[in-house]
Amino acid sequence: MVSGMPPSLILLAALTPDKHEVTLVDMFMGDQVDYESEVDLVAITVRTPLAVAAYEIADEFLRRGKKVILGGPHTFTLPEEAKSHASAVAIGEGEELWPVILKDAEQDRLKDFYVCGPYPVEGLRGSVYHERERPSLAGLPMMRRDLLPKKRYFMDSMFTTRGCPNHCRFCPVTDIFGSRIRHRPIDEVVAEVATLGRLYFNVDDSVFGHPQMKDRPEENQYYLDLYKELAGLRPKRLWGGAGGLSAVNYKDGRRILELAAESGLSAVAAGLESISSKGQKQSGAWRKLHYTSPDTFNLRQMKESIRTIQDLGIVIMGFFIVGWDEDTVETYYRTLDFCDECNIIPFIFTLTPMPGSQIYREYREQERIFTDHPWDHYGGGGDYVVFKHPLMPENEMLKANAEVMKRGYSMGRIIKRTLHAVTHSFSLYVGTTSYFTQLGLRKVYRQLYDQIQARS
């Protein structure tokens, strides 16, 4: 699997005053937790699929008398649950909170909750520190990449903006980061990229911006200026990021795409979500794709947009969700057919209603969430179904998803997509990177298929 340095860890480390000694643990890369370490403060970033493990670690450190801070997207959604496993809980972004938390911990006066952003805090039980404005992204320190072994990561990670105006119904990102897009100063971004290796990933919500927002011309200008600057860096870096296809339909968007490619953009993770207008409607993704309504969704136009981006030498990884109310088992296979036709790398997942999302709240009210599933079943990898579908039994969804992803990474399909990437790219490195990435994914999805078959 492709992996980059976790930006949240190395950014918080950079925000830590020099008088403190910092050790970073990346369990995703196999680091072990040293419970015997003589630390004063333990901070854990909690994502929903890892909440069970995070709570176990936190509980053990608490048992040993250590102060424990929990933050991350899961604590944003379920702060009271997190507090039962922590000395204090951070809610929202950390730039403004982390220095305050460190100072309060040092003086042994930690509050129960530290909140950054325009969120209601009246319902929180306990003492609260509240910064009502989201942080500016200007003047951030250079991330502490030196604290993790660089060689074990396939690529570097960085970010240029935060915020998302799309309000997709399955995603809590807009609630967490806000609908208004905040930008890092271009000179600071360029200075950081100049320190990175040959390949990096931009973790922004959309590296193409949102060119349909004609009432905010400064939004487009930011990307036009940024990519002109990045294109001038030497040596040239290759990079990837998430982005919507609709940029090709706007004058500024087309130019942003071209400049992004010139600056080294070689792969984009495109959240396409569904190949049907009904799926687009239930997911809310039609807003992200910038259709005027879900009824105007056009699969032919999606295909044309994909080809336009590929012609610029950019590999597309297509992310799809199956499990909307009108979907059937056949939807899994038709989605793979679409990926085959368009030569995009398939990421086809069964819907996982994530805590904090509109879909999760609705399904809870409708009693469609299976309440016996622990949080580590919310990984979205296709190994568990955590909700009741009106047309498909749970076991049918699991088997179809596993079968489709096994087929999607057959050697024949991998070679076909790699040849397509090589013939459309200006760099052989793009093709070889695509090939070896897909080989890693092939191993993962074959293992998942075997697990599902064994449980059947």
**Cβ atoms within 10 Å, residue 392:** 20
Q: Is the pLDDT of residue 167 over 90?
A: no
What is the three-class DSSP state of 162? strand
Highest mean pLDDT among 146-160, 359-373, 418-432: 359-373
Which stretch of DSSP H or E encloses residue 199? Answer: strand 199-202
pTM over 0.85: yes
Of 76-80, 208-212, 363-367, minimum mean pLDDT range? 208-212
If you search the block for the tokens 């199956």, which residue do you land on?
322
Domains located in the chain, CATH noted = 7-131 (3.40.50), 155-455 (3.80.30.20)
User: Could you tell me where the DSSP H helices lie in 45-197?
Assistant: 51-63, 73-77, 79-83, 97-106, 173-177, 186-193
- 246 falls in which pLDDT band (50, 70, 90)? confident
Query: pLDDT by residue (tens digit) across 194-213?
Result: 999 989 999 998 898 877 66
Residue 97 has pLDDT above 80, yes or no: yes
pLDDT value at residue 178: 92
Q: Provide the mean pLDDT of the chain.
A: 93
Among candidates 259, 276, 260, 280, which has minimal Cα distance to 268?
260
Tens-place pLDDT, residues 278-294:
999 999 888 888 787 88
At 215, the pLDDT band (50, 70, 90 cuts) reads low
pLDDT surpasses 60 at 191: yes
Q: Among 3-12, 61-70, 138-147, which stretch is predicted with the lowest mean pLDDT?
A: 3-12
* 64-75 pLDDT per residue, tens: 999 999 999 999
Give yes or no for residue 439 having a pLDDT over 90: yes
Q: Is the pLDDT of residue 183 over 80?
A: yes
**437, containing H or E segment:** helix 428-455
Q: Exposed/middle/buried for 156, CB within 10 Å: 0-12, 13-18, 19+?
A: buried
Task: Return the HEC string of 329-351.
Answer: HHHHHHHHHHHHHHCCEEEEEEC
Order of strands across the sheet with 67-71? 41-45, 67-71, 88-92, 113-116, 128-131
Can you give the pLDDT at residue 1? Answer: 41
* CB-based contact 322:349 (threshold 8 Å): yes
Residue 295's pLDDT is what? 85
β-bridge partners, 265: 239
Determine the pLDDT at residue 358.
95
User: Does 310 or 451 have the greater pLDDT score?
Assistant: 310
